[in-house]
């Protein structure tokens, strides 16, 4: 894809106004940073920041058999949802691996609102459409062009967003959402995020998004609000050990291997990949996603080899300097027998072996 073929979100002009550094990402021109990754990361951890996540995909699933369909294609149990609740889940292959990870929101008894990763939205939509052949009375519609999405994240997110909505935000619990108004515009307000902090994701008409973005930056000034780019979005989710599709999970990894067994509900009945996952739960799995800290000097990056006992045993899936913890950390898959906390490993960094140690995850957990 050439630079001229890249898409722009409805907030592109806002990023230019704020001097965001624009890079290609998932087919879009997106801001990687404004003043700097460290400063933006710190703003989210200590105060409040804004992300443009309008590149994400939104898909409506409606019809009399909508729940049955969602249950078939995802591994979590959507029957536990009531209107106004959301859940994290996996869109599954027949091999028990990830087509994508996603959020499932229940709007009503016959209406579910899915949010999928930007780089996967066309693939996910085609995959979901293909599954509808087994289900009458189910409609799957790509609504991505109908929504902009602004994430307001950080410990002061509620205070800032509350200035622009009459919806009592304190009543929205984690992984809950309401349909209300923000800055007098109809919106879905969800208490969700990808940062490890408290916060909200606001879905609204793309035409209204630039006005809301600018208004949030204005009303959030007392809290030191900052526009934030993809750079710190990655370091924040990494510290919280939230998986990134294409790095930490993909169509070769199962939820059990990725440490996401809690989203697999085998007792809900049949679903894509259930037989594979049931067998894996019964017999165990051979590899596991673990976290490690560098004890030697160096930063592990995606794709670097992991060594133990003179043999390569895996690859780094995500790695970075963790700003909140001031440590070089990483994640990667290793054989289960090597995944215990305290195991000494080495990371090959540009031909040099650098010492590391397996540690507990998540690396960062916010105080409740």
**Residues 230 and 181 placed together within one structural domain of the fold:** yes
**Residues 34 and 152 placed together within one structural domain of the fold:** yes
306 lies in some domain: yes
**Residues 36 and 184 placed together within one structural domain of the fold:** yes
Domain span holding position 31? 3-52+148-239
Phi, psi of 273 (to 5 degrees): 85, 0
Sign of CA dihedral 310, 315, 320, 324: negative
User: End-to-end alpha-carbon separation of the chain, Å?
Assistant: 44
CA-to-CA separations, 236 to 44, 57, 272, in angstroms, rounded: 8, 21, 31
**Residues 93 and 45 placed together within one structural domain of the fold:** no
Final residue belonging to a domain, choices 82, 116, 145: 145
252 class by beta-carbon count within 10 Å (0-12 exposed, 13-18 middle, 19+ buried): exposed
247 lies in some domain: no
> Distance between CA atoms of 352 and 111, rounded to whole angstroms?
53
Q: Decide: 204 and 223 in contact? Cβ < 8 Å.
A: no
**Residues 328 and 293 placed together within one structural domain of the fold:** yes
**Residues 224 and 175 placed together within one structural domain of the fold:** yes
74 lies in some domain: yes
- Looking up residue 95, the CATH number of its domain turns out to be 3.30.70.1400
> Distance between CA atoms of 58 and 56, rounded to whole angstroms?
7
262 lies in some domain: no
How do residues 284-327 score in pLDDT, each as one tens digit? Answer: 999 999 999 999 999 999 999 999 999 999 999 999 999 999 99
Beta carbons within 8 Å of 197's beta carbon, 6+ residues apart: 44, 45, 153, 154, 155, 157, 236, 366
**Tokens standing for 204?**
């609204």
**Residues 193 and 310 placed together within one structural domain of the fold:** no
Q: Decide: 342 and 357 in contact? Cβ < 8 Å.
A: yes
250 lies in some domain: no
**Residues 65 and 93 placed together within one structural domain of the fold:** yes
Final residue belonging to a domain, choices 87, 121, 145: 145
- What local confidence, expressed as pLDDT, does residue 327 receive? 97
- What local confidence, expressed as pLDDT, does residue 75 receive? 98
> Distance between CA atoms of 129 and 114, rounded to whole angstroms?
13
Sign of CA dihedral 215, 216, 220, 225: negative
Whether this prediction's pTM lies above 0.85 is answered by yes
84 lies in some domain: yes
Beta carbons within 8 Å of 69's beta carbon, 6+ residues apart: 61, 63, 131, 132, 135, 138
**Residues 30 and 98 placed together within one structural domain of the fold:** no
279 lies in some domain: no
Final residue belonging to a domain, choices 92, 123, 145: 145
Using 50 as the pLDDT threshold, list the residues of the chain that sit under it.
1-2
263 lies in some domain: no
- Looking up residue 179, the CATH number of its domain turns out to be 3.30.1360.120
**Residues 165 and 47 placed together within one structural domain of the fold:** yes
- What local confidence, expressed as pLDDT, does residue 89 receive? 98
**Residues 121 and 232 placed together within one structural domain of the fold:** no
**Residues 30 and 168 placed together within one structural domain of the fold:** yes
- What local confidence, expressed as pLDDT, does residue 1 receive? 46
Sign of CA dihedral 334, 336, 342, 344: negative
> Distance between CA atoms of 358 and 230, rounded to whole angstroms?
27
- Looking up residue 302, the CATH number of its domain turns out to be 2.40.30.110
| Domain total in the chain | 3
- What local confidence, expressed as pLDDT, does residue 4 receive? 62
């Amino acid at each position: 894809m050439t630079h001229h073929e890249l898409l722009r979100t409805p907030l592109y002009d806002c990023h230019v106004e704020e001097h965001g550094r624009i890079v290609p990402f998932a087919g879009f021109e997106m801001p990687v940073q404004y003043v700097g990754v460290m400063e933006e990361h710190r703003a989210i951890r200590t105060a409040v920041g804004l992300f443009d996540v309008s590149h994400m995909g939104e898909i409506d699933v409606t019809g009399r058999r909508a729940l049955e369909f969602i249950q078939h294609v995802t591994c979590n149990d959507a029957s536990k949802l009531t209107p106004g609740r959301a859940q994290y889940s996996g869109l599954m292959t027949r091999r028990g691996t990830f087509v994508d990870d996603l959020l499932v929101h229940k709007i009503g008894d016959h209406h579910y609102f899915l949010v999928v990763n930007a780089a996967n939205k066309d693939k996910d939509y085609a995959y979901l459409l293909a599954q509808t052949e087994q289900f009458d009375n189910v409609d799957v519609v790509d609504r991505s062009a109908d929504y902009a999405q602004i994430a307001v994240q950080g410990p002061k997110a509620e205070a800032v967003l509350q200035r622009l909505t009459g919806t009592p935000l304190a009543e929205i619990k984690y992984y809950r959402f309401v349909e209300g108004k923000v800055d007098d515009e109809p919106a879905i307000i969800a208490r969700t995020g990808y940062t490890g902090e408290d916060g909200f994701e606001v879905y609204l008409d793309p035409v209204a998004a630039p006005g809301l973005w600018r208004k949030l930056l204005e009303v959030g000034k007392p809290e030191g609000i900052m526009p934030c780019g993809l750079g710190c979005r990655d370091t924040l989710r990494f510290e919280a050990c939230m998986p990134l599709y294409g790095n930490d999970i993909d169509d070769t990894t199962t939820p059990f291997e990725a440490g996401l067994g809690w989203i697999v509900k085998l007792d809900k009945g049949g679903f894509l990949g259930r037989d594979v996952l049931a067998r894996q739960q019964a017999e165990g799995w051979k590899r596991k996603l673990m976290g490690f800290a560098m004890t030697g000097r160096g930063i592990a990056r995606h794709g670097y080899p992991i060594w133990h006992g003179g043999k390569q045993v895996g690859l780094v899936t995500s790695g970075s300097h963790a700003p909140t913890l001031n440590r070089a950390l990483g994640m990667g898959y290793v054989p289960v027998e090597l995944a215990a906390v305290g195991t000494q490993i080495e990371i090959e960094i540009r031909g040099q072996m650098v010492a590391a140690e397996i540690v507990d995850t998540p690396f960062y957990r916010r105080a409740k």
